[in-house]
Structure 1
């Protein structure tokens, strides 16, 4: 963790040394970043602000024909009781959690963007082996320039410049793999649909976070003869990442074929999720299975805006729905590439057995289910067990989230900024 903090703070310290002198700044006419040859936030990243984490657009109509095609159950329609794992099932099991976060420091002249991801590996044994705990983090930083006068021309020496001249729509994953230290550069774009600088830096921050989470899949390659269950926080397909990044990041999972390894994503952010609504709309015969003799029809189902209201009636605590083959329209392009069809998510919901009785949404790649249904069911069981242990999120995810927190890093950099602004006689600190 100390190394990560050192990397992030050092990345910005040299840039802050390149701030223009305050007296010189006051003599310059105002100048925005429009002429800078830098990329800016893409429309996709801005659109993601209006979507839930799965890519469901809040403006999208639920009942459209194109919205329900291709949805099907891959299990029988009955709800499934979850029996928590036994000591024997856990013995020798490796559980890996992937989580990420982002933070920003906002001034009137530029925004600093911080992002980090971490993995944590728990190994469970029932004998007298030494406790095993492994963690690894990845970090990235960026600058969103709002004021073209704020830095001396030489500041680009201290930044990562391979994106200079790129269009607004660009993959970031490969660049994150190459660049481990210097901050990226972006410019504010006044022609975007969301003109608030805060929105544009937020879109970039989330993009970096999700790309780092994808990059962390490489770090899950541990030596083990036992079963490995990898649990990712959030959606399987990030709505804030370029589809090429999602493809390149998740493509690595295909190498897990034939191995005792499973990948599953989990999220409690289901307030806008509509998988059940769309499933019942596409297969109305299921309505009577879940709501027998209650006078519920397709019109009743379509009137709901969230699955949560239906899940309260369908699921009892300690039960999950059957797996549903489903993908949001905004993410369909990911699985259209030949060879990637097996990454299509299979989705289910689980109703927590202890207070608060929340719901979580779980996703697993289709090819993993098709290859080994027993192991896939075990992975779902383990993710749910970890969620019950953690309370509000899986225990291994909570551990990973604690290790990628950026609050302290942000505070350290803010102190650096205050000192740098004071040294240069710049009165721009407003955080």
Structure 2
């Protein structure tokens, strides 16, 4: 870690040292943060709370534009075979995932976020087992009470977002050197609950750290690599510019032995298949021959899960579909970013529990090397079957993202600071 950077535990030390004395706090009239010159959570980040991880809005019942959907393989379901030992020899499989946590008081919320990567390198020879892990941390404070700190506390925060009406944070995370970001509660937002506003910020920080982690690989350009990101390719909580800044690094993988896959089992509200069958009604007969299924029946299911149970056998996947949610369409409208449009398929797990996962791959990778993408899918599925409920490499990365211990230590730090300043009325 750079000597100028703070770890997630020390990021709040100076802030907590700036708490006002309890006697002074009790004597002050209540003051909210309305006049503080800090940024607040954006509407997009609050809207993401009501969306699934792909940006599908549960309150939006309009159909996705059929022009945004294209089945790019033959419509038959595809059997996924595991890679052989020769194919795995020398392969780097990298997992990226993140986590967030919060500590809520009546006067402020502390936000913790972390992303981790793990690299498993597979060989069939006598090389020593090899893997490495790297993590990135970020922290923030959401101020609810303008009385709780003395004026010096902003000396211990990252303040470049002050007076900003917008809050892309990808570049700011690089410049913050581990200092806690500062935000204020905004009563004018359509979600009034402070917990909703801090949750929107926490998820945004986590997903931005995951994008930054794409820079943390230690793999030579000539070495084969499959990177599995936990979640959606286009995060629903991140600013469009942050996603573009993070994923544009994938464009540098063009014509290399590197494939990027986003994989998630969170498909409860996913409607890729339903929207595809609406766009291509002739496929209904393909998947449900002689059953007289209509588009109205397809739409009545609401999500894809029940349809997948009828269509997919364990060990099989659906064909790749060019598909992007309306809320994420803007990402690929920027010149040069068309190749990042997700190609999506579902896979049905071979062993119990017979769950489904949704897989997304940048379009340009398929266009350049279909065989390499097919192999990457099989490698990701192999990891998923090994891991049980998530790919094995993602499970390993998830263990390194756990923030419970950090939260406990910070809570102890807060309790000591509250006791020292005799702030008995502030609870968490």
Query: What TM-score does the superposition give when structure 1 sets the normalisation length?
Result: 0.97
Mapped partners of 1:126, 1:177: distance in 2: 38
Q: Does 1:329 align with 2:336?
A: no
What is the SS of the residue equivalent to 2:95?
Answer: strand
Q: Deviations over 1:338-362 (max 9, x none)?
A: 1000000000000000000000000
Mapped partners of 2:328, 2:354: distance in 1: 30
Question: Displacement, 1:6?
Answer: 7.0
Q: In the alignment, which residue of structure 1 is the partner of 2:234?
A: 237
- Whether the 8 Å contact between 1:108 and 1:428 is mirrored in structure 2 is no
The alignment's C-alpha RMSD in Å is 1.3
Q: In the alignment, which residue of structure 2 is the partner of 1:72?
A: 70
Q: In the alignment, which residue of structure 2 is the partner of 1:40?
A: 40
Q: In the alignment, which residue of structure 1 is the partner of 2:199?
A: 202
Q: In the alignment, which residue of structure 1 is the partner of 2:282?
A: 285
Q: In the alignment, which residue of structure 2 is the partner of 1:352?
A: 349
Q: In the alignment, which residue of structure 1 is the partner of 2:122?
A: 124
What is the SS of the residue equivalent to 1:11?
Answer: coil
Q: Could you say if the C-alpha distance between residues 428 and 87 of structure 1 is closer, same or farther in structure 2, counting changes exceeding 3 Å?
A: farther
Work out the number of aligned pairs and report it.
426
Q: In the alignment, which residue of structure 2 is the partner of 1:182?
A: 179
Unaligned runs of 5+ in 1: none
Q: Deviations over 1:285-334 (max 9, x none)?
A: 00000000011011111112110010000000000000000000000000
- Whether the 8 Å contact between 2:107 and 2:426 is mirrored in structure 1 is no
Unaligned runs of 5+ in 2: none
Mapped partners of 2:83, 2:413: distance in 1: 49
Mapped partners of 2:374, 2:412: distance in 1: 49
Mapped partners of 2:54, 2:47: distance in 1: 12
Q: In the alignment, which residue of structure 2 is the partner of 1:83?
A: 81
- Whether the 8 Å contact between 1:103 and 1:115 is mirrored in structure 2 is yes
What is the SS of the residue equivalent to 1:8?
Answer: coil
Q: In the alignment, which residue of structure 2 is the partner of 1:56?
A: 56
Mapped partners of 2:241, 2:60: distance in 1: 23
Q: Does 1:424 align with 2:421?
A: yes
Mapped partners of 1:81, 1:293: distance in 2: 23
Q: Deviations over 1:160-219 (max 9, x none)?
A: 01111111x221000001112210000000111110000000000000000000000111
Question: Displacement, 1:223?
Answer: 2.4
Mapped partners of 1:23, 1:92: distance in 2: 65
- Whether the 8 Å contact between 2:6 and 2:179 is mirrored in structure 1 is no
- How do 1:14-33 residues align onto structure 2 when only pairs under 5 Å count? 14-33=14-33
- How do 1:357-376 residues align onto structure 2 when only pairs under 5 Å count? 357-376=354-373
Q: In the alignment, which residue of structure 2 is the partner of 1:222?
A: 219
- How do 1:265-284 residues align onto structure 2 when only pairs under 5 Å count? 265-284=262-281
Question: Displacement, 1:430?
Answer: 3.1
Q: Does 1:300 align with 2:297?
A: yes
Mapped partners of 1:263, 1:385: distance in 2: 15
What is the SS of the residue equivalent to 1:226?
Answer: coil
Q: Could you say if the C-alpha distance between residues 61 and 67 of structure 1 is closer, same or farther in structure 2, counting changes exceeding 3 Å?
A: farther
- Whether the 8 Å contact between 2:221 and 2:257 is mirrored in structure 1 is no
Q: In the alignment, which residue of structure 2 is the partner of 1:140?
A: 138
Q: In the alignment, which residue of structure 1 is the partner of 2:250?
A: 253
